[in-house]
Structures are given as C-alpha cells and as structure tokens.
Structure 1
Amino acid sequence: MSKMKRTIFNSLILILGIMLLGCRDIDLRSSTVINENGSGIVKLQVVYDDFISTKLKNDVIDHEWAKENGYNFNKYFKDNMNIEEITYEFKDIKELEEKINSSGLATMTDLKRARGKDDVYTIDVKFNKSAIDNLIKNNTDDQKVYSYIKNIKFINEVEVPGNVIGCNAEEDVDENTRVWNYKLSQIDDDTKLDLAYKIKKHAFPISVLPNN
C-alpha cells in the first residue's frame, strides 16, 4: 500500500477511536477553488471540537506525509472548532487531474469547448469504490470498525470562476459554488461529481489606424 493511502487510513482509524468516545463533532471537508486561468487551490480539512482535541496526543494529519506530497499544513481555531488543514496549489486543471488520478481513489476528466460567446468547461470525477473499500478492508478485519469508518461524513465544496450551468450537487451556495455531501457507505462505482460552467470569451479590442 502506498504511503498516501496508509496515511489516509491511519487518520480514519484515529477519527474512529474518537467517535467511539461519544457523539462529538467531527467532519472531513474538502474545498477546491479554480481560477479563470485554470490555477487554483485544494484544501483538505479535519474539523473537530475541544472535547476531541483533549483526547488527541498528536495531530490527525501526518505533517511529514503532507510535506513529502507537496501539501502545506496549517492548524487553527475558528467558530469554536479546531481545524487541521492541508493545502495544495495547482498551476492548471491538468495538474489537478493528475493529482487526483494518481491517488487511485478517484478518476477525474476535464473538457473545454466553445459555445457561442462562451467557453464551457466540464469536470467529471468518478469514485473508485473498490479502491476505497480495499483501503479499509486491507487494514482491518473488524466489521464494527469497518462499519464506523464507512459512515464518516465527507463534505466537498467546489468554487469555479464562471456561472455553473450543470451540476449534480446537493447544495447551491451561489452561482459559482456547489457542495456535495457523502458518507463513505454511500459511495459506489456510479457515484460521480459532475460540474459544468461557462466563462465569457475575452474580446480583444481592434485598433483601427487612421489613413495617411
């Protein structure tokens, strides 16, 4: 198993141990912001309350793993919640696509096409159920542990630079932002993140030189 997958699993096990202490607040969150030039940033967060914080001996996210994989680690307190956050900046959509595809946990494709005065961008992410299941099952034979992990809630938010014109998200934040909510148990091979948005083509001014 790759170090990336092993680190993800170890984080899930730690979260599970905390959950077994009682019904406390903890979420896994992902936020992706895409700029008009295709660059952007991905934020992955573990958010938990003070009760959980007192039970932790170390941070949930492995700092060394984050650094080795090009992520920046940050930890802060906001709205009475502790937030561990790793961020990854990408220079274009293709780089983001390669990062997601290399994880083995999902497959991303993107497409750009012209439509009248607009450029239309389509992003599709398809989850790999067998890879996610294997990530868990290869490290535990305990059905109770497996069941708890499968029911961890994951919140995924994507913000794009243009107006969203097609999407399968559950929540519309505004004309540029959509949110998906999953439990790991809900993810199967048909689970997809579909998003299409449009941006006005840039019109370049035409200079007309005077006749001599």
Structure 2
Amino acid sequence: MVALAAHFGLDSGQTGLLTTVPLVAWAVGGALAGVLADRIGRVGALMITVVTYAVLTVACGFAPTYETLLLFRSLQGLGFGGEWEVGAILVAEYTSARHRGRTLGAVQSSWAVGRGLAAIGESSLLPAVHGSPVHCGDPSGLGIDDLGRPDFGEPVDAGPDDIPVFWACGVIPQTAVTASRPPFALTHAPGQMFLTDARDEQYRVA
C-alpha cells in the first residue's frame, strides 16, 4: 500500500479505502455466490467466481488511475468472496463426514501458508534489499528471549504452533548509524518510508 499511495499520490483516507472496500465486497460476493450456486450449481458458480477473481487481479496491475484501481479491487473482492464461499461448501460436500473438519481446516490454512511462501520466494529474489529470511524457528538462535518484548516495534502474539520467520530490517542499520555517528546519512523512520527512483528490477536476481 505504501508504494501504491506514493504512485497515485493518495492520502490516508484513500489508501484505507483500497483495503476496506474489498473486505466489504468479499462479504457481498459470498452472499451473491450462494444465490448463484443455488441457480446454476456450485461447480458453475465456482468457475465463474474464480475467473472473476483472476481477471480482476490482473486488471489491478494495469489500473491507470486511483478510481480505476478502486473499482477493480472492489470487483476482485466480489470474486474472491464468492469463490471462497462456494469452494468451501463444495469441498465439504466431496469430503466424508469423518474427515470434513480436518480437510476444511487444511484448505483454509493453505491460504496463509501460500502467502508466507510467496513472501519468502519474492524476498529471496531481492538479496540487495531485504533478501531471504535470516532465520526460521527458535528466536533464541538470534538472541531473542521473548517475542512479546521486542527491542523495536509492537509485540508479536505467537501461538504454540506458529513458526517465527525473521527478515533483516532497516532498524538494524539505523542502530549502527546512530552508534557510529557519521557526518551524513540518508535513511527512513517508522511510518516514514524512504523512497527513491530506483526500480525493483535493478535489484532482482532472476
């Protein structure tokens, strides 16, 4: 959202709408998809909603204006909410009662797992920026005793089955700059991103 706000020159209210409107559209899309599934069947409704979500996701990348992007994201939300609702019901119908809860749990969890893998994969292609994670697993391997009491930022409410993943952060070189006291330095501050005209392609390795 930071990059989008900078690209389109958005204020905080406009940026918030890009996040809020799709969430509302998800709920509406789920309700509409339920009605559609009753009329044409769940398989047909699922195909329509998946195609809607996919097409509008691609369209967001080509939106020339803020208003167009907001429209595309709203329609994208309808598709996402619809395929999530119809897909979950369809999976439940094809699964035996004995394994239904576990299967639906795996399907729901896969969304979060996919996002995590995408973040790791994307960051691994940019070693000159954040790069791939520096550590996964036990925080004590990095000298962190308690995730609930971080040196920087907000506490993390990690569950017993969560696996912490750590990336390098701009706060670390800031600490080094503060300690070394150079005569001049350019950096960022919390809530104030440092942007340049350098493009991602200049730092991508593949």
Name whichever structure is richer in helix by fraction.
2
User: Quick check: which one's strand share is greater?
Assistant: 1
TM norm. shorter chain > 0.5:
no
Q: TM (normalized to structure 2)? A: 0.26
Q: Considering only CA atoms, is the larger Rg found in Structure 1 or Structure 2?
A: 2
Give the TM-score, by structure 1 length. 0.26
Higher RCO (C-alpha 8 Å, min separation 6) = 1
